[in-house]
Every structure is written in structure tokens, then in C-alpha cells.
């Protein structure tokens, strides 16, 4: 039987420590093909490049990968190019990350890491997005290694349900500090933006987006609750955005 084919990508770019560590953790699970952005793509959501050219560059292979390419596009572009232009068969798994920073709760909507995993999911490929709740470039990914291997192993062994992508977030903690893995729902939250307004040398106003995360949900079944207790959160995530519960109410509008 052929070894599992694992497509690895991220949104922080092909040189990001989170990605390089992930490739090392995946050694032994299968053949690893890396197609990752050539520059950071944080906050790119599910952007795709429809009005511009895309470049692919074959890169030196490192950390046990079979093949590596960098791509000028978004994380979703990386997955599309990998599937259509680079791989001769459908991958058995797509793993995106490890993101430098949380993609829990509402962050999933803005996340390039998760958009790559969701893109794979749309194509019927089992997919996992991994994020460490530490934005530092020098973040310590080591404590998460055992849990990541466990999640990847279970995903290959049991099969991720059809149409579902795993959104995995790992708290910043020592390995001993990690309490385990919890299946959760996405917490209700938003960002309370503050725009930092400045003036250019020529007198033109401009803004930098900053903000504070605002948790609106105290449920003990949420990813934010699990992370606050030092659990790794796993949220099954879907790309069918239909709010089924609202269909009946809208039908009563009587168009």
C-alpha cells in the first residue's frame, strides 16, 4: 500500500518556524509535499487570486519533506495549485499550520491557515488546521508535538467526517501543563477594533487596524473555555454556512 500523501501548507509563509516544525512532526506519517506562501498571508481569510498572476517556485527540500514549493498567492491558492498542477493523486490529508497565533472562535473566519484547510475540505480531502496561541516568531511548538501526532494519527486511522475540517488550537503551555484534547464548539466572540489614526508626511490621514478580542460566550463547551483551561481545542468546522435553524422563520416572512 502506498504511503499516505500529506499536503502541508500555512499562512505565515514557507520559512515560518510553525511550518518547519509541523513538517518534522509529520515525518513517519507519509510522503509530505509542502506548498506554502512565499510571504506571510495572515488575515487573508478565504481570499483567492482571480485578478493577478500566480508563481510557483520549487524549493530545496528540508525537514524530511518529499517536495517543497513556494507560491506567490494566498493559502487557498496554494491548495488549488497543489491539487491541480503539482500532485498526481489526491492527498490523503492536508495539514495547515502550525499558525503563529490563535484561530479559535471568530478568528476562524479571518484565518488564512483555516482557509487552506477548508479549501482542501471542499475538495473532499480530510484536513486539519493547527494553531498555537502564541504570536511570537520564536514560539515554542515543542510541547504540542505529542498531541499533534495523536490528532494526525487518529485522523488518518478513523477518517475525518465528510465535509468537516478540524480547527485545532493549542494553548501556550509546557507539555506538562497541557491537560489534554477537547472537542468543542466555536465560541461566540468578536474583535473590538481600534483604528490607530496617523498622518502621512504629506498630511494624509491613514489607519492601522488594531483591536481587542472580546469573548461573548461563557459556555464550557467552547474552544475559548478549553484553551483557557489549558486544553487543546478541536472544533469540527464546516463550509456549509446555511443557518438551517433560521429557514422556518424566514419562510414565515411570506414573500
* Nearer Cβ to a second copy (22/79): 79
The three-class DSSP label of residue 133 is coil
In which residue are the cell numbers 506519517 written? 29
* Minimum CB–partner distance for residue 204 and a second copy (Å): 7
* Nearer Cβ to a second copy (2/247): 247
* Nearer Cβ to a second copy (64/210): 210
Which residue, among 124, 138, 170, has the nearest Cα to 12 in the 3D structure? 138
Cα distances from 2 to residues 53, 87, 118, 136, 236, in angstroms, run 34, 14, 25, 37, 28
* Nearer Cβ to a second copy (61/122): 122
Instruction: Indicate the pairing of strand 93-100 with strand 127-132.
Output: parallel
* Minimum CB–partner distance for residue 168 and a second copy (Å): 11
Which residue, among 37, 6, 39, 40, has the nearest Cα to 23 in the 3D structure? 6
E strand or H helix at 168, and its extent?
A: strand 164-170
Taken in order 104, 108, 112, 115, the sign of the CA dihedral is positive
* Nearer Cβ to a second copy (48/63): 48
* Minimum CB–partner distance for residue 172 and a second copy (Å): 20
Residue 131 near residue 44 (C-beta atoms within 8 A): no
* Nearer Cβ to a second copy (33/76): 76
E strand or H helix at 170, and its extent?
A: strand 164-170
* Minimum CB–partner distance for residue 63 and a second copy (Å): 26
* Minimum CB–partner distance for residue 140 and a second copy (Å): 22
E strand or H helix at 208, and its extent?
A: strand 205-215
* Minimum CB–partner distance for residue 64 and a second copy (Å): 25
Cα–Cα distance, 222 to 13 (Å, whole number): 29
Amino acid at each position: 500500500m502506498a504511503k499516505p500523501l500529506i499536503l502541508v501548507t500555512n499562512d505565515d509563509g514557507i520559512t515560518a518556524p510553525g511550518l518547519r516544525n509541523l513538517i518534522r512532526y509529520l515525518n513517519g506519517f507519509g510522503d509530505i509535499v509542502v506548498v506554502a506562501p512565499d510571504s506571510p498571508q495572515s488575515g487573508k481569510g478565504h481570499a483567492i487570486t482571480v485578478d493577478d498572476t500566480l508563481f510557483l517556485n520549487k524549493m530545496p527540500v528540508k525537514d524530511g519533506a518529499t517536495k517543497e514549493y513556494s507560491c506567490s498567492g494566498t493559502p487557498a491558492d496554494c491548495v488549488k495549485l497543489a491539487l491541480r498542477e503539482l500532485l498526481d493523486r489526491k492527498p490523503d490529508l492536508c495539514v495547515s499550520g502550525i499558525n503563529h497565533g490563535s484561530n479559535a472562535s471568530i478568528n476562524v473566519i479571518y484565518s488564512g491557515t483555516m482557509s487552506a484547510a477548508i479549501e482542501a475540505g471542499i475538495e473532499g480531502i480530510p484536513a486539519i488546521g493547527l494553531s498555537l496561541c502564541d504570536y511570537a516568531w520564536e514560539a515554542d511548538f515543542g510541547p504540542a508535538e505529542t498531541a499533534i501526532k495523536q490528532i494526525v494519527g487518529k485522523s488518518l486511522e478513523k477518517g475525518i467526517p465528510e465535509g468537516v475540517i478540524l480547527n485545532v488550537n493549542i494553548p501556550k503551555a509546557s507539555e506538562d501543563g497541557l491537560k489534554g484534547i477537547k472537542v468543542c464548539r466555536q465560541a461566540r466572540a468578536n474583535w473590538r477594533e481600534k483604528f490607530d489614526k496617523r498622518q502621512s508626511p504629506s498630511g494624509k490621514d491613514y489607519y492601522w487596524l488594531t483591536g481587542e478580542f472580546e469573548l461573548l460566550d461563557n459556555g464550557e463547551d467552547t474552544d475559548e473555555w478549553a484553551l483557557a483551561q489549558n486544553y487543546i481545542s478541536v472544533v469540527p468546522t464546516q463550509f456549509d454556512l446555511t443557518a438551517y435553524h433560521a429557514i422556518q422563520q424566514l419562510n414565515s416572512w411570506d414573500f
